[in-house]
Structure 1
Amino acid sequence: MKKIIAKLWRIIRGPMQWRVLWLAHAKFMVGVTGVIRDDQGRVLLLKHRMWPPERPWGLPTGYAVKGEEFPLTIVREVREETGLEVKPGRLVQLTSGYKLRVEVAYEAVCTGGTLKIDTFEILEAQWCSPDSLPDGMQESHRALIHGTTTP
């Protein structure tokens, strides 16, 4: 049976192979999070309107659009949600296992802009010391801030 499948695979070369692979594998959305720090070492936290009311605080987060490089997703999301400009740094986490979602997190530094929140998605924004994070914060984001996750 394996020989027959291998022979068929060689016969259908090109776009047909990609269609078969697409049908056979899971499709994922990619959520990208940024651990954004300022020059004082504080972290940018957002109170998200769409998140659970008991855990609204977290890092800037959004979904990558088709063809977008993941570090640039956080640049776009931070600009859209806060008006701030950031420069992405190293990858700090890459996780799958969520329902059809992959989570990616990058460190980033604020390089400029004026804080002006998008009130459709964000209720509040604040710079916080890693030692004084607000109640109602996502535990996974708390771990990213403190570097207790593995890439």
Structure 2
Amino acid sequence: MKRIIARLWRIIRGPMQWRVLWLAHSKFMVGVTGVVRDDDGRVLLLRHRMWPPERQWGLPTGYAVKGEEFAQTVVREVREETGLEVKPGALVHLKSGYKLRVEIAYEAQLVGDATPRIDSFEILEAKWFLVDSLPEELQDSHRQLITGSTPE
């Protein structure tokens, strides 16, 4: 039986193999977070409208769209949420094991003007913070990303 399956696999080579693999495997959303810093070492935090009131502050975050490189998701999300331009840097976090999503975080550096123009649909406020004066209502996992400790 294994030989028959292997022979069939070789016959359907190319796009048909990709379709079979796509149907047979799990589908995930990819959440991407940006740890955006300016030249003074401050970090950009956003107060998210749709997050729980006791933990509304967090890093710029969003989901990758089909065909998008994950580092470019950071660039797009920061631009959409704040109007700021950033350059993606190193991958600082990757976590799988969730039922429907994978989480990724990149460092990012501000490029140009540091004055945010928020998208008030998603974001209530955007501010630059020094690492030693982060708000109490900051997501714990985001605090860990900022300080370089390992998020749970």
The TM-score range, normalised by the shorter chain, is over 0.9
Q: Counterparts of 2:98 and 2:42 in 1: how far apart (Å)?
A: 29
Q: Counterparts of 1:130 and 1:53 in 2: how far apart (Å)?
A: 22
The two structures have a TM-score, normalised by structure 1, of 0.93
Mapping of residues 1-16 of structure 1, within 5 Å: 1-16=1-16
Does the alignment pair 1:149 with 2:150?
yes
Aligned to 1:110, what secondary structure does the other structure show? strand
Extract unaligned runs of 5+ from structure 1: none
Amino acid at match of 2:110: C
Q: Which moved more, 1:10-19 or 1:77-86?
A: 10-19
Aligned to 1:108, what secondary structure does the other structure show? strand
Amino acid at match of 1:145: I
How far is 1:44 from its partner?
0.4
Q: Counterparts of 1:5 and 1:54 in 2: how far apart (Å)?
A: 54
Q: Counterparts of 2:82 and 2:112 in 1: how far apart (Å)?
A: 11
Q: Root-mean-square deviation (CA), in Å?
A: 1.4
* Structure 2 residue aligned with 1:35: 35
Extract unaligned runs of 5+ from structure 2: none
* Structure 2 residue aligned with 1:22: 22
* Structure 1 residue aligned with 2:62: 62
Mapping of residues 35-114 of structure 1, within 5 Å: 35-113=35-113, 114=115
Paired residues, what number? Answer: 150
* Structure 1 residue aligned with 2:118: 117
The two structures have a TM-score, normalised by structure 2, of 0.92
Greater percentage in strand: 1
Q: Which moved more, 1:121-130 or 1:2-11?
A: 2-11
Aligned to 2:21, what secondary structure does the other structure show? helix
